[in-house]
Amino acid sequence: MRAPMPNRPSLRFAASAEHQAQVAAHLTARDRWLARVLAEHRVLTSPQIAAIAFGRSRRAANHRLHKLYTWRVLDRFQPYIGRGRAPMYYVLDTTGAHLLAHEDGIDPKDLKFRPERSVGIAYSLRLAHLMGVNSFFTALLSDALADTTQDQAVTEWWSEARCGRHFGDHVRPDGYGRWHEADREIEWFLEWDTGSYQLSRFVAKLPGYTSLATTTHIVTPLLAVFATAAREVNARRHLAEHLRTDHRRNELPIATTTAEHLCAAGSPAHEVWLPLNHTDAGRHRLISLLSAWPHLEAPTSSTDANDTGPSPVPRLSPPAPMPPWHHSELTWNPKR
C-alpha cells in the first residue's frame, strides 16, 4: 500500500508571512540553493537532485525533499511512463518562490508566481525536451563532483529562458554552459534534439548563431545532441551542406553527439563529441574540442594589428549572479 499523502498547508497559508517565517528558520543553504536552481531550470528529478546536491545519497535526498514538499517550498509530480515507475519530478512551489523573492528584495506580489504554471510542466509536450537539456548539465555537475582532484567544474549553466532574454533577438539556444578542466575552459550553446521535428528547422537556426557571433564578436561553439545515431548522420549532412555556402562558417564551430552516446558514456565530458569536418580523429572529450578549434583559446596579441585570422574574445558573462556551481557549495553533509 502507498504511504499516506503528507499534510501540506493551503496555498493561501503558504503565501503568508507566518508560514514563511516558520519555514525560513529550518532552511539550509542547500535548500535555498536548490530552490534557486529550480526557479531557473524549472524541473529536476529526485535522482538528479541527489547527484548534484546530496553526494549521490538517494536516501538523504528523498528525506529532505519530502520535508521541502511538505513545507510547500517545492512541489512534485510523477509522470506516467507505461512500464515501471518514473522518479519524482520536483518544481518550485509557493513558499519557495516567495522566500527567493524576499532574498532578492522583490515584493512577492510583483513576482506573479503561479503554482499551477510551475507544476503544469507535467502536462507540457516540452517536458521531455526540458528534461533532456537538464540531464545534460546535471550529468556534467555529477561528473565534476565525483572528481577527487577537484580539477573539473561547471562554471556556468544558463536555461533556455535566460538565453532567450539575452540572445533572443538573434537565436534562442536550449542552454548555455561553460566547463573547466585541467586549467582549460570551454563554453558552448546547446541544442537538444528529441527527434520530433524536421532537421530543416534545426538548420534554420544556424544563421541566428552566426549573426550573434558577428554582432558580439564572440565565437561560441554549438553542441548539438541528436536522438539517434541515424539522425546524427543525417543532421551532419544537412549541416555540412549549409555551412559549405556560408562565408561566416568559421564563426560557428559545431560538434555533435547522440543521446545514446551520452547515456553510454555517463557524462558529456567524455569522448562523445564529433566536430563537424573533423571525422578522422574520432570522438573527442568535451575539453579536447579546443584542439579541433585552436583559435578559441589562442593567446591574444594587442601588438599584432595585421592579424586577420580569428581571434579569441571575452567570454559571455551573466549580468546577474548565478547559483554557485563549485565543489565547496555542492558538497554538503548528507546528514544535515
Residue at 61: amino acid letter: A
Which residues are paired to 61 by β-bridges? none
Mean of pLDDT values over 50-63 = 92
Mean pLDDT score of the chain:
84
Beta bridge partners, 178, equal 156, 187
Burial class (CB in 10 A: 0-12, 13-18, 19+), 220: buried
> Counting beta carbons within 10 angstroms of the beta carbon of residue 70, is it exposed (0 to 12), middle (13 to 18) or buried (19 or more)?
middle
283 pLDDT more than 70? yes
Can you give the residue ranges of every domain in the chain?
11-124, 129-296
Q: Computed from CA positions of residues 95, 156, 86, 58, in that sequence, does the dihedral angle turn out positive or negative? A: negative
Beta carbons of 134 and 38 less than 8 angstroms apart: no
At 297, the pLDDT band (50, 70, 90 cuts) reads low
Look at residue 330 and tell me whether its pLDDT is greater than 60.
no
Report helix, strand or coil for 223.
strand
Cβ proximity of 96 and 73 under 8 Å: yes
Phi, psi for 252 (deg, rounded to 5):
-140, 80
Where is pLDDT greater, at 327 or 4? 4
* Rounded Cα–Cα distance for residues 214 and 208 (Å): 10
pLDDT of residue 294: 81
pLDDT in tens, 143-201: 999 887 778 999 999 999 999 999 999 999 999 999 999 899 999 999 999 988 888 88
Q: Which one, of 228, 252, 230, lies nearest residue 239 by Cα?
A: 252
**pTM of the predicted model as reported, rounded to 2 decimal places:** 0.85
Phi, psi for 75 (deg, rounded to 5) = -120, 170
* pLDDT tens profile 131-143: 999 999 999 999 9
Per-residue pLDDT band for 97 (boundaries 50, 70, 90) equals very high
- State the pLDDT confidence band at 327, using cuts at 50, 70 and 90: very low
For the chain, the C-alpha Rg in angstroms (whole number) is 21
User: Each residue of 199-240: pLDDT tens digit?
Assistant: 888 899 999 999 999 898 889 999 999 999 999 999 999 998
Pairing between β-strand 254-258 and β-strand 222-226 as defined by DSSP bridges: parallel
pLDDT, greater one: 322 or 80 = 80
Q: Which three cell numbers stand for residue 150?
A: 577537484
- The number of angstroms, rounded, from the C-alpha of 220 to the middle of its chain's C-alpha atoms is 16
pLDDT of residue 317: 38
321 DSSP assignment: P
Q: Which residues contact 97 (CB under 8 A, 6 or more apart)?
A: 35, 39, 108, 111, 113, 118
C-alpha cell read off for 89: 519530478
> What pLDDT, on the 0 to 100 scale, is given for residue 47?
96
What architecture is the 11-124 domain classified under in CATH?
Orthogonal Bundle (1.10)
What is d(CA 192, CA 211) in angstroms, rounded to the nearest whole number?
A: 20
Does 53 score more than 80 pLDDT?
A: yes
